[in-house]
Structure 1
Amino acid sequence: MLTSVIVSVIAGAICILLAVLYKKSAGVSVAFGSIGVVLLIYGGFTYGSMYPVAYIETFDTGNKLQVQYPITKVQVLSPVDGDVVKCRILSMGVYPESHTKDIWVLLRPSDEKYYPQSDHTNTSYKEGGRWQVVTRFGGDQGESYDLFVYEANVEASRFFTETIAKWKAADDYVGLEVDELPTGAVEIDRIQVTLENTCRGIH
Structure 2
Amino acid sequence: MSTGTLIIVIIGALCLLFGILYTKKSTLRVAVGLIGAILLIYGGYTYGNIQPVPQIETFDVGNKLKVTYPVKAVQVLSPVDGDTIKCRILTLGVYPEAHDKDIWVLLEPSDEKFYPQSDDTNTSYKEDGQWQVVTRFGGDEGETYHLIVYEADDSASAFFSETIAKWKAANDYVGLELDEIPEGAVEIDRIKVTLGRDCRGVH
TM-score (norm 1): 0.78
Structure 1: gaps of 5 or more residues? 1-7, 16-23
Change (3 A) 1:143 1:29: farther
Structure 2 residue 168 is the aligned partner of structure 1 residue 168:
yes
- Greater Cα offset, 114-123 or 165-174: 114-123
Task: After TM superposition, give the deviation of residue 106 of structure 1 in Å.
Answer: 0.3
Give 1:3's aligned residue: none
**Do residues 39 (structure 1) and 40 (structure 2) align?**
yes
Task: Give RMSD over aligned pairs.
Answer: 2.9
How far off its partner does 1:30 sit? 6.0
Match of 1:149, SS state, is strand
1:135-154, aligned counterparts within 5 Å? 135-154=135-154
Residue identity matched to 1:72: K
CA distance in 2 between counterparts of 1:93 and 1:196 reads: 22
Please report how far the alpha carbon of residue 44 of structure 1 lies from its aligned counterpart in structure 2 after TM superposition. Answer: 8.5
d(CA) in 2 for partners of 1:118, 1:33:
53
The CA deviation at 1:29 is 6.0
Give the residue type in structure 2 aligned to 1:148: I
Q: Which residue of 2 is the match for residue 82 of structure 1? A: 82
CA deviation after TM superposition for structure 1 residue 36, in Å: 2.7
Q: 3-state SS of the aligned residue for 2:169?
A: helix
CA offset digits 1:141-180 (Å, max 9, x no partner)? 0000000011100000000000111111111111111111
- Counterpart CA distance in 2 for 1:168 and 1:94 is 28
Bigger mean CA deviation after superposition, 189-198 or 93-102: 93-102
Unaligned residue ranges in structure 2 (runs of 5+):
1-8, 17-25
SS in 2 for 1:131: strand
Q: Could you tell which deviates more after superposition, 86-95 or 53-62?
A: 53-62
Alignment of 1:22-101 (within 5 A): 31-40=32-41, 41-42=43-44, 45=47, 55-101=55-101
Pairing 1:194–2:194 present: yes
> How many residues end up aligned between the 2 structures?
181
Distance 2:40 2:61 in 1: 45
Matched residue SS, 2:198 = coil
Change (3 A) 1:43 1:107: same
Partner of 2:155: 155
In the aligned structure 2, how far is the partner of 1:166 from the partner of 1:121?
A: 10
Counterpart CA distance in 1 for 2:45 and 2:168 is: 33
Secondary structure of the structure 1 residue equivalent to 2:186: strand
CA distance 1:128–1:35, change in 2 (3 Å)? farther
Tell me which amino acid in the other structure corresponds to 2:40.
Answer: L
Cα distance in 2 between the residues matched to 1:100 and 1:86: 31
Q: Identity of paired residues, percent? A: 65
Report the CA distance shift for 1:179/1:36 in structure 2 as closer, same or farther (over 3 A): same
Larger radius of gyration: 2
Cα 1:29–1:62, aligned 2, differ >3 Å: closer, same or farther? farther
Q: Distance in 1 between matches of 2:35 and 2:83?
A: 59
Deviation at 1:43, TM superposition (A): 9.2
Q: Structure 2: which amino acid aligns with 1:80?
A: V
Distance 1:168 1:68, change over 3 A: same
Aligned-partner residue type, residue 120 of structure 2: H
